[in-house]
Amino acid sequence: MSHGSLPKNARAAGASSNGDAARQKELAKVVADVVSRRAQGENLPDSVVLAQWPNMRPELQDELAALRDIHRTFLAAQKAGPISMLARHDSDPLAARLPGHPRPDPQRLPSEPIHGYTVIAEASSGGQGAVFRARHEITGKTVAIKVIWGGALTGSRHRARFEREAQIMAGLDHPHIVPILDRGRTADGSMFLVMPFIEGCPLDEHMDGLRSEPEPDVKRALELFVLICRAVAEAHQKGIIHRDLKPTNVLVDRRGEPHILDFGLARIGEDSEIAAARSVTMAGQIVGSLPWASPEQVSPGEHPMDVRSDVYSLGVMLYQALCGVFPYSIAGSIQEVLNNILTVEPAPPGQVRGPFARQIRSGLDAIVLRALAKAPDRRYASAAELGDDLENYLAGRTLDRATLPSRARLWRNWAGAAFVAVVTIAIAGVIAWQQCPPDSRQDLTLPRISNSIGMRLASVPPGSFMMGSPATEAGHDSNEPLHRVTIDHPFLIGVTEVTQREYRLVMGSLPPGQLVQGDNIPVHGVTLENALAFCRELSNREHVTYRLPTGEEWEYACRASANSRAYAWPGTLDTMGWYRGNSNQLPHPVASLTPNIWGLYDMHGGVNEWCRDLSKPFQTSGVSVSTAEGEVDFYNLRGGSFMSPAQQCRSASRSAGQPENRFEDAGLRMVCDETR
């Protein structure tokens, strides 16, 4: 393809001297024309542009170098595939070397010594400078020295960027931001900065290693990003926007700690604690590294660039870390990539095949997609908020309300409104039911809600009941004193025990040792640790709080409030529960027998259900279970199981286990606090 020619008005401007303002305006036109023609596939090397505009050479060299920097980073990001633009040419037009500026020798050392330091070797290099590993001669510490080439002839744009970087980093003090130790000039006038030498690798290489481990753990990746967000938040609090966040600007040391560097493109806000600095960014120029740039960075004017631009870049980095790919294609011409950044909505990370895919729940999807929102006002307002939500996800806490997808918000709002109506009706019905003679009582099935995995939950109203058992009850134990308990809050409880289908949908696989398999078979062989993990994952998936019931809640739901019988109204154990006497000591499908008066199935028998409360000391089979200080805690299991004798399936009966104990007949039933 022909190189063509540049606009006549720009050609005339190159030969004119109508003042700095006119010169800068015409320079911008020349650069814009170069970008446009290259984006359309024209092979237009720097040498041709400079030959046509010798009178603009000093400024034009700087601007063409800036374009090369952008494109070089763009190329470095193309690990997943080739760039179609490059496939059409034998050479890289944007990376063409300037006349008289040979590509740096990877083993080159500074031409002039740096006073006070002994340079050991070059660590990395670029078109405008290099970073050297060196030793501080007084302390003997290993440091990194960043040198910008050119001496006294260094372009004004690069000098300004270098000065800004030194100014900004000198004002930051955070363990995960690389500080400035020293600065100065070499004998030939080249500028340098001295920083601690970080023995480690860029973030993307570190994440490649995590994803390739035999058992990759997404938790480690998220914990690392929390630290990165906290460091970026520190800069934001100082009024500093990094504007060039990308994996190569985050080094991860051998301890797995991140270190953010390269604030050369950072902008200092008007409310900065550091003195304001003059912007040296030319109007219309893309600031930052293209694949990680926010929509407002690549299309300036519609939205202001602020801390939310850094949030977007963090979102791209997090997406890469989780999925190993970018959130949209960066294969093609620069114009095609710009269009993808502006318009293409990324797929949720959990839907992208990769080592972490099965560990990514909808809550994490929501966090990443909020960070990547095209409109800044739909993103997190700061890196601190993004870090907070990542911590919420890791801890199993409810995410920020604005993070929740619309489906979850609708579920939440509908559930709350439903309970306002149904709880009043349910309470009135329970009172009326309690006043009926026992033989005339009818079913009082509670209102129900289904969640996204098809789990049915019944709305239990507040009320009082007699907990425990009378001394005359067969199987009565001394730790079951009869006493009144008041449940002062409504709550949701699973209509059935958690099934294998539900457990598999949330956790990806079943616990070992399933005696019988089937979608409607209650999951068993569940440890308390398994049960708590299920609660966390389901909470993240549904964006509401799921947990195990307390012993009081469980017994209240089992008895259906009022009755103090050994087995819940209206039937006998044989008609309501699978136990040793009728189960052949194997689990059976849930909801295959009669429910209690509230419509809850398998409260007796089925599987032993873990509760969230510690077991108080009591005697069972001659063994004393103690929770004394220094001893292992035991937690309650309620309801008996398909392996239990009848007396262990009573409403008041309980057994106990340690969190890591795997009983082959233990399972779980969900409670949801969304009504509170």
DSSP class of residue 565 equals S
CA nearest neighbour of 115 among 197, 196, 192: 192
What is the DSSP annotation of 638-666?
Answer: ES--TTS-GGGGSSS-EEEE-TT---TTE
The amino acid at 84: S
Distance CA 425, CA 446 (A): 10
Q: Of 440, 554, 537, which is closest to residue 494 (Cα–Cα)?
A: 554
258: which strand partners? 252
In one-letter notation, the amino acid at residue 319 is Y
CA pair distance 64, 78, nearest whole angstrom:
21
Give 402's contacts (C-beta < 8 A, 6+ positions apart): 370
In the sheet that 654-657 helps form, which strands lie side by side, from edge to edge?
654-657, 635-638, 608-614, 666-667
Look at residues 497, 463, 485, 519 and name the one whose alpha carbon lies nearest to residue 610.
497
- Residue 537: which of 660, 364, 405 has the closest Cα? 364
Instruction: List the structure tokens of 81.
Output: 């595939």
List the alpha helices (DSSP H) in 178-262: 203-211, 218-237
Residues in Cβ contact with 151 at an 8 Å cutoff, skipping those fewer than 6 apart: 186, 188, 189, 190
- Give the span between the Cα atoms of 144 and 251, in whole angstroms: 13
Q: Report the relative pairing of strands 491-494 and 456-460 from DSSP bridges.
A: antiparallel
Do 487 and 630 form a contact (C-beta atoms < 8 A)?
no
Q: Are 497 and 642 in contact (CB under 8 A)?
A: no
Q: Tokens at residue 197, please?
A: 């030498």
Cα gap 37→328, rounded to integer Å: 24
Among 46, 69, 244, 310, the one annotated catalytic: 244
The residues facing 544 across adjacent strands are none
Integer-rounded Cα Rg, in Å, for the chain is: 33
Nearest to 310 by CA among 354, 401, 398, 249: 249
Alpha carbon 453 to its chain's center: 22
Tokens 């993240």 belong to 540
Q: Is 90 a catalytic residue?
A: no
Task: Find residue 326's DSSP bridge partners.
Answer: none
Please state, in angstroms and rounded to a whole number, the distance separating the CA atoms of residues 586 and 582.
Answer: 9
Produce one character per residue of 591-606: b if its CB has 16 or more CB atoms within 10 Å, e if not. bebbbbbbbbbbbbbb
Cis previous bond, 570, omega within 30 = yes
Residue 548 — φ and ψ, nearest 5°? -85, 155
Closest alpha carbon to 614 in 631, 635, 597: 635
Question: Comparing C-alpha atoms, which of 379, 256, 248 is closest to residue 320?
Answer: 248
- Which residues carry out catalysis? 244
